[in-house]
Every structure is written in structure tokens, then in C-alpha cells.
Chains A and B, each alone.
Chain A
Amino acid sequence: MASQAPAKRARQTERVRSDGTHEGFLRHRNFLWLKIGAALSAFCLIVYLLVDVTPRHNGGSWLGYALGTIGVLLILWLTALGYRKRKMTRGAWSLKAWTSAHVYLGLSLIVIGTLHTGFQLGWNVHTLAWVLMMLVILSGIYGISVYATLPQQMSFNRDQVTETQMLASLREVDRQLHDAAQPLSQHHAALVRESLEQDVFGGGLWQRLSGSSRNCATRRVHRTIRQETGAKADTGNDPLERVDGLLERKLATLSRVRRHLRYKAMLEVWLYVHIPATFALIAALTAHVISVFFYW
């Protein structure tokens, strides 16, 4: 009854296996691409060590050409991930498999690319290409480190609330603050206005990444008002007490929003290095290849 043979027209999409497990991109198919990447690197290293190139290893030997060709092809293929990710064609491909292969084959480039140089680094366009490659790879390593750790924290912080809902509740507190500030003195009302006019999303990338609230107007205003309300007993109908409470709520919401935006930014920001550096790499690579063939 419960266990039935797969339907004849069943889909080819990877489904959760019958034991309820599923694997993330790093573990994909039991680390298949890690194994392939490692084998490829090991193979290149062994050949490198066994083959005797005179006077010394360099990019121009037959081995250097071979490694260089593998490297260029790999880089072009790695770059294609950006296209694959966005092109929703039919067919039994999975972006998870692509990412998995991308990560491990990308890492193997450390070995392949470096061996290709024969450790002949200098101040030239060839080394520039290598440096850019390493930059892309390092940013990639940072990328998977955040991919591995931040999602849980983001999920926990979000606590079933969507970003739209967070922002809506922020607007709502503001509206209530605005109403609650009506009976206040001019001085207090000005304080509240300061909080209302605060641009939550201002402050630039750095602030977003650090999640810092150092310059937060709401926090300052809340502190000032708290100094006055703190000493008084809360009678329940003092408008300033109400504003105090609302500011506190706003601060709590703000800190959740900030944390959310911070996680999101951290999950994305490395791509702003990874992708432009990829294009710089391809440009440098082109220059490198052309100069090798025409001016060597």
C-alpha cells in the first residue's frame, strides 16, 4: 500500500529519497565533485612532479600548455554558472549539481592554475591573471562559508515573518508614533519626528554589513525620552510613556530588520567581488593568451 513502485511517468527530478534524506550542494551525491576535483588536482600534481621539464617548469612547456588549456576551459565553464542559473530551460539538469561541481572544480583550479605558472610569478599580465583567479577563488571560499552558516541564523531571526511584513510593521509603528506624538510638547514632538524621519536604509553598505546601529536616531531619541520617563511611575495614560513603549517596539523591529538585511547583504556581497573579478580575470586571461601566442 504505502510503498509503491515508482509510477511509469514519474519525474526525473531529484526527489527526496525514500528515507527522507536530502543533501545540500556541498554534500551532493555524497561529495562526488569533491572526489573528482581532488582526483584531478592530485593527478595534475603527480604528473607535474614526475615529468622533468628543462630548464624548469613553466607555462610554455607541453605540460604548461596542457594545464593552461584545462585551466582556461574550466574558468569558462565556471563562468557559465551565471548563465545556467538564470536560463530556465527544460531538461533534467539541477543547479545544485552545477554549484557543487562549480565549487570543487573551482577549488581544483588553485592547483591547476598554480602548477601552470610553474611558480614563475612576477609583475606582468600573466601573474595578474593568476592573482585575479586566486581572488575569485578566495571570494568563492568566503561565499561558501557564509552559505554554510548564515541561512540558519537568517531563518531563526526571521521567525516566520517575511521581509515585507517586517517593513510593514515598521511603517505601522511609525504611524502609531506619529499619532501618539500629537499631544506631546513641541520639544518631545521634535524628538519623535527625528525618529520618524530616520532613513533606516541609509548609511551605506558598510553599515548594512556590520548591522551597526551606532548612528540610529531612534535609539538616541528613545534614550533621551527614557531618561524622563524612567523615573516616573507608569500611570498608563501619560502620552510620553506611550511614545516610550512605541519607541521600544520600533527598536526591536529595527534590530530584527537590520539583522535580516545584514544576513542578506553578507550572502550577496561577496558576489560583487566574485563576479566582477571573474570578468577582470577573463579580460586578463585573454590578454595573457594573446600575448603568449603573438609576442612570446
Chain B
Amino acid sequence: MNRLTESCRIAIVGSGPAGLSAAARAAQLGLSHVLIEKTDHLSDTIYKYQKGKHVMATPSQLVLRSDLDFDAGKREAILGLWDEQVAGAGVTVRHNAEVLSIEGTGEPIAGSVMKIVTRKRDGTSETSEIQRRAPPYRLKLSDGSEIVADAVILAIGTQGNPNLMRCAGADLPHVQYQLDDPKEYIDEHIVVVGTGDAGIENALGLAEDAEQRNVVTIVNRGMEFATAKGANVKALLAARDAGRVNIQFNSETKAIEPGWITFTTRDGEERIRCDRVIARMGSAPPRGFVESCGIEFTSGDRLAFPRLSPVFESTAPGIFVIGALAGYPLIKHCMNQGYDVVEFVNGNASLKPADEPILEAKFKDLPGRRDVAEWLDYLRSGITILEGMNPLQMREFMLDSTVRAYRRGEVIFERNEPGSSLFAIADGSVSVQVNPDDPSITVPIGKGSIFGEVGLISGRKRGATIVAAEDAICVEISRTAALKLQSSVPAAKRAIERISTERQLLQMFGSGLTSADLTEVLDTARIEQVSAGKTVIDEGDEGTDILVIRQGSMVVEKQIGGKPVFLNYLPAGSYVGEMAVIAGGKRTASVRAAIKSEVIRIDGPTFRKLLDAKPQLLAKASADMAERQNLNAFVESKKDSFSNVVDMYSNVANFLIENGIGEATDVLLIDENLCVGCDNCEKACADSHEGLSRLDREAGRTYAHLHVPTSCRHCEHPHCMADCPPNAIHRGPDGEVFINDTCIGCGNCQRNCPYGVIRMDAVPPKKPGLLSWLLFGKGPGPGEPSKKWSYANAEPGVEKAKKAIKCDMCSGIEGGPACVRACPTGAAIRVSPEKFLSIARLERESA
């Protein structure tokens, strides 16, 4: 062993809440350990929160089990407390040491080979293999030293490493990868590299206050801003036009020197003044590093987490994974796992997980006396799609899901209710009322199977009412849990896909088809991803495939008089391509994806066979086709006589689709022919929601006096839900996407929403009533109070946390959305896309 090699029983990598808590437990138990942290401070993720951020301690029912304390409070207080307690507990910490690799030093483990698939930009992939070796493990650190440990606890979170600059001079001290406070810099020439959201936001932040006199330049490799949100791009271009920011297009950084930076551009080299470089080129997720340690993930999916045993052990024996990296993104979970994992490593086999009481509460109203472990096992063995899960995954899965007993005849959900969750039947059976006019016509679904998958996949309303056919126990799997399930259990994904395709076809074509009739069609069916704007059917092409829109939406267009004319908007759950199959001939119109979509492609000839065998189906398909042909003929005839109106109709439709209406379920529009700019809509919104407005009437795009303000579209598949640590974003009973009280204010949803409709703010103090304002001028009057008033009237000593605020469609408020009710002129309207984009608009306008 050389001088720089240290050895210990447990090496803990990463000093976030998970790693810290593990190290504290190890110190408490007197185990030899070392906590390795790549930065010069503890808990980098929390360290990087915005200054003064109120850190939240959710879920509140979960008890904290850790040697360190943690309660909701200011970032600074929490970090300060941990620093103190870590020092007091005698934790051995190595700062400024990044772990570069972890390798087993023991014998090769027979048959244990790790396959790593690396995907390249061009879509090809490469597979390499690693032979796993037994512990102890050797950890190579960035400071050149090594640590050998019997067990490794990996708690490196999910932040990953920022992508680094590679040009000459990239290691100079004025090159930084983070911007904490844009107000800190004055009188500087600053170059921001990277035109994603982070880069643009930084550049705008630095240039915002003219008093700082910064000269800000942002560097773009090409001409487009493909990875940034529309709102950010617009703000950036506006700032450029206003002369606040320079954009350096088609440029790559060639060299950095003190005071200067050189770019290679199309017209040769360009050298400009530069006192500081802020590189925001995204970060590489830690997956590559984790896999190189021999740790397998549950699937190739981006959402997948490492495959773990009930004691957090990964596929590399002796390496344990906890915290956000293991799929538990809340601080309390992280800390509890830190404690638990060290207990497990130390041989404690009887420790019950800290989330036990939460699960107990979930099962307490169910019939039959079972304890948590028994229930989990019962559900797992009873429900087909859960079979591939291990007990740890089951626990986590149940935390995001609910289970309920239903009496015979009880309604589980009703037709046309919104809902994006999936149901699974653990016991009993249910019946589906397939015909809305006659509830007595039902189709049974039995024990072990699933239902509600249409809502999960398309985000559309429930297609049928479902009733318990006998006493039943069903698990309602939230969308988040269902997505996690599909990414961690590939078999579950396939099962859900097959069932959903079959049912979608049955539901769509109805007409007395049974699943047996569909076997052949299903065998040819393929699910395809379609990116936004891509055409799936080209006018004039040969081809007879039928396409069923499974997710997203499509636009049908036809070339008339040399211009594409908008014919129809097809939401998920519709199909296209029937004309060529039924009537033969070439495609008569083009179909392209309005947003990122998924289609089921069905082989034309196979479908034709089915049509021939089922006259009823043929009749229905022919009727659908005739309706569409009439519509096409109508538009064509109008085009001759009302060419302008048709163009306008097409343009408006396309404008709306560009602005996200294609994925909206309910959107606020403002008719600028009527809007007098009184902002009563905003005021009403604020006054109906604790004083904060969730809508910016003036901002947003306008076409032909139709204005799409900055306000939530209640997307079919809300982007905002994607990465919410406490899972606080849900879809409510009226289809509204809302954020509940458990929001921790992390701002992920704000970053993920492509329409910039989420704001982070604290609830202002209560205002005096309207009458005292009208009569005595007390308080700030209707609408959102000014920041100044809120500040002056804040309750002293009470700190209110900033949370995510967005439109909830006035959920629970009788009468519905306040913005619409409060508009004096009728300019503000709420629409759902399929109705608003219908052809009737054209009929009316050309009438």
C-alpha cells in the first residue's frame, strides 16, 4: 500500500443528506469510515439552493431517523447545523476529493459481467463489458489518493457533473460553471457559453440591471435555440434587440486568456474582451459513472434507477446506493436511508424501514388482517404487472399509490372524468360499461389485470364507467408510479402496451368486435414515437397503413392552391389512414404531429381482412370516412370562394398549435378585439387565490387578435409533473393540473414547463376587505398587492416560503375560472382545443 492509500470499513461517497446521515451513523456506531465529497463544503445540492431558501421537511407523516437533526427552515441554518453536528459526531470527511472510479480488488465473481450500452448522438450504440470483482473496493480520488473499503455507500445524488469547457485556457480561474448571484458582478465583460435555459437565464440576469454596467455576450454554436424554452428565447432576443445582450451566433470558443476570449466563427476568428466566462452547457447525468462501478440500472430508460436489493445493495456486491440516486429525492427519505443502510451494513437484520407507519396507514382500512410486508407480497403476487418487482421497489411503489376496497356495484370511476392513473385489480373483478346509453352492456375485467390505461397513456378523459362487479380490492397507481414501474420492469411495460393497444382498438371501432378478432391485427401493430412536426402520412403517397393516435395529437392538412390548408385536428384516441384502405388510391391529405406523439401503426392489408370479415366494422369505418370526405370537400369549396377566410383559419390553427394548444386540455385565450386592458382578469385571479395572480394577461403571443396569455394550458401530459421531488403536482377532478401543499419550492416544475406559466412566490399578507378600500382607501385594493405593500405589511418574524404557483382552473370555486367570470367585455374565454379548432369556426367566418 502506498502512502496515499487509506483503508477503512465503509467509504461513503457524496455528502448530501443521504451521505451525511450515513456517515453520522457510522461514526456513532464507531465503524471506521470516510466521507468523500468532491466540493469544499458539505451537501453541494443544498448548498447550491438559492440564498435564504426555505427548505421543506416533507412528507410530514414520515418520522426522521438519523443522528443529524433536520427540520424545515432556512438553507443557511440547516447547513450550519449539519456542519456543527458532523464535526461534533467525529465524522471523518475528505473534502475536495471526487471519486473517479470504484473497482473491486477481490477475485473475479464468476458469471457476473456488467454490460454497458452507450448511446451516441447519431443514434448508434456501443456495448462494453466489465467483469465484476469481489470487495474490498478501491476508490480512486481526484486528488491522486486512493481509499480501500469493504463496503461503499454511493450517495452522489442526481446532479451529475457540469459539462466542461475543452478549449485552451478552460482551466483559468475566471471560468465558472455556476452563477449564484447575478447582482454580484459589476462593470465586467461577461461571456455566457451555452444557450439552454440555464445559460439564457444567467445572461438575462447579468444584463437585467443596467446599473451594473455589465457587457454580456452569449455564445451560440448555431443559429437556433433548440434546447431552450420559447419564453426564454423570446426574452433573450428582446434583450438583444434592446441592446442589453450580445448574441454570438455560429461560434465556438477557441481560447480563453485573462481579459479576452477568442471564437471561431464562419467568418474566421473573433477576439473580444472577457473578464469572466460562465459555462452552462448542461450536465452529464451520473449514470455513466455509476454503471462503470458495475451497478446495473433497471432499464435503459432515462427515468430508470439502479437495481437494488431490499437493503439498498446494488448488483455490485458491497456497493450500496441511497438517496436521490436511488430514486428517493426528498431530504427526509435520504437521511433515513443513510441511517438504515449503515445499520444493514453493520449486520442489523431486524430494522423496520421508517416509512412503515405510512404504509400501515395505507392498508389499515382493507379487509383481512395482514401486516405491511404481507400486503405488499399479496399485491405483488396478485397483480400481473407487479410481478417483476422486489420488496424495496414495492415499498416505494406503494408510497406513490393507493389501495382501496370496493363493494360490489360501487363506481370506481365514471366516463368522462379526467384521470391519468392506472388501476390494477388485486382481488375480485370489475365491469366496464361500454355503452353510455345502456349501462347494462358491460365487459368484465378480472383479477390480476389492469384498467384505466387510456387515461394514463393519452391523458384524456375516462372513456367508460367502471363498476366493481363483486367486492374487489384495487390499487390506483399514480401516473408517476406507473411511469417508474414501466421503466423499472420492462415486462410490465410490454404488458401495459399490449393491453392498451387492444382496448384502444376495441373502444375505437366498437361494433361488436372481441379481442379474439383483433389477434392478427395486434400482431402487426407497432407503437411508434413521432416527434413534433413530423409527418406520418404524406399527401399523394401510396400506403394503406392505419394510424391510431395513442398519445399527443395530429393535424391534417391538404395542399389547396399551392398552400397547405388546415383540415382537422385529431386528438389522442382517433385514427387516420382509413380512406386508402377502404376506398383505395393515394393518400388525400398529410398528417403531422402537433406535438411529440405516439401512434400505433396497423398494417393496411391485415386491417382490410378484418373489415371484410366484419361488415359492421366496415360500415362504421365507411361512415367515419364519408364524414371526413364531406369535411374536405367543404373546405375545398370554401377555398374557391373564400380563399382569405380559409387561409386565416389555417393560420390561426397553426398559430395555436405552435403555442401549445395541441397538447392543452383547457386554455385561456383573449380576444384582443374585445380586451380593454383593464386587467380585471388578473385581479380576479389574485383575489380568488390568496392574493397571487397566476396569469400574465399582456405577455404571450398574439395572432389575428387572438392572444394566448401566459397561463397554464393544463397539458395532457404535463411537463411540470416530470420531476417534482414530493410529487406535489396532480390532475384534479375537472382536469386541472394543480400543485398541492406539499410543494417544497425547488423550482423544477418552473424550469420544466415549456410555457413559462409557473411562478415561485410567497403568499402576501391578507388585505383589508373591499368595502374598507372603497370607502376609506384602506389597503392596496383589488388584485395582487405590490411587493412594497406586502413587505411593509408582512407579519414580523414570520418567514413565508416561496412555493410554486400556477393556475388551478379555480378548482373548488363555485362558478369556475374567475378570469372568465370577471372579464367585463367577454374577451377572456377558456377553450378546449378540439372544439376550438373545429371546422365550425370556418363555417361561421365564411358565412
Contact = CB atoms under 8 A, between A and B. Distances in A.
B238 interface: yes
B571 A22 contact: no
A91 B838 contact: no
A11 B770 contact: no
A172 B825 contact: no
A19 B825 contact: no
B534 interface: no
Interface string B528-572: 000000000000000000000000000000000000000000110
A204 to B, nearest CB: 21
Given A16-B829, A28-B826, A1 B815 contact: no
B671 interface: yes
B574 interface: yes
Contact of A91 (B573, B671, B735, B814): B814
Contact of A147 (B774, B820, B825, B831): B825
Nearest to A4: B416
Contacts of A19: 838, 840-841, 843-844
Contacts of B201: none
A98 to B, nearest CB: 8
B834 interface: yes
Interface residues of B, number: 71
Given A88-B818, A94-B820, A169-B242, A155 B672 contact: yes
B841 A23 contact: no
Contact of A5 (B436, B570, B821, B832): B436
A10 interface: yes
A10 B830 CA distance: 13
A99 B823 CA distance: 9
A2 interface: yes
Contacts of B417: 7-9
B674 A154 contact: no
Contacts of B243: 172-173, 175-176
Contacts of A54: none
B244 interface: yes
A21 B847 CA distance: 13
Interface in B30-55: none
Contacts of B702: 155, 158-160
A16 B835 contact: yes
B370 interface: no
Contacts of B700: 160
A87 B829 contact: no
Interface in A1-52: 1-2, 4-16, 18-25, 28
B835 A18 contact: yes
B414 A8 contact: yes
A168 B240 CA distance: 12
B817 interface: yes
B816 interface: yes
A90 interface: yes
B831 A86 contact: no
B503 to A, nearest CB: 14
Contact of A4 (B461, B673, B698, B814): B461
Interface in B654-693: 671-678, 680, 683-684, 687-688
A95 B823 CA distance: 6
Given A8-B416, A88-B688, A95-B822, A16 B830 contact: yes
Interface string B362-383: 0000000000000000000000
A99 B820 contact: no
Contact of B821 (A82, A83, A93): A93
Nearest to B809: A11
Interface in B750-800: 770, 774, 781-782
Nearest to A178: B210
A191 interface: no
Find the residue from A16, A92, A267 having the highest chain B CB count within 10 A.
A16
A220 interface: no
A150 B571 CA distance: 37
B701 interface: yes
Contacts of B508: 1
A24 B827 contact: yes
B836 A20 contact: yes
B734 interface: yes
B824 A267 contact: no
Contacts of B781: 86
Contacts of A152: 672-673, 705
A201 B841 CA distance: 43
B122 interface: no
Find the residue from A28, A95, A165 having the highest chain B CB count within 10 A.
A95
Interface of B: 210, 238, 241-244, 414, 416-418, 436, 461, 508, 570-571, 573-574, 671-678, 680, 683-684, 687-688, 698-702, 705, 707, 733-735, 770, 774, 781-782, 813-818, 820-827, 829-832, 834-838, 840-841, 843-844
12 contacts: A2-B574, A13-B817, A15-B831, A15-B832, A21-B841, A85-B680, A151-B673, A151-B827, A154-B672, A159-B702, A160-B702, A173-B242
Interface of A: 1-2, 4-16, 18-25, 28, 82-83, 85-88, 90-96, 98-99, 147, 150-152, 154-155, 158-165, 168-169, 171-173, 175-176, 263-264, 267
Given A1-B574, A16-B831, A85-B822, 6 more contacts: A1-B573, A24-B825, A92-B821, A94-B820, A98-B824, A164-B698
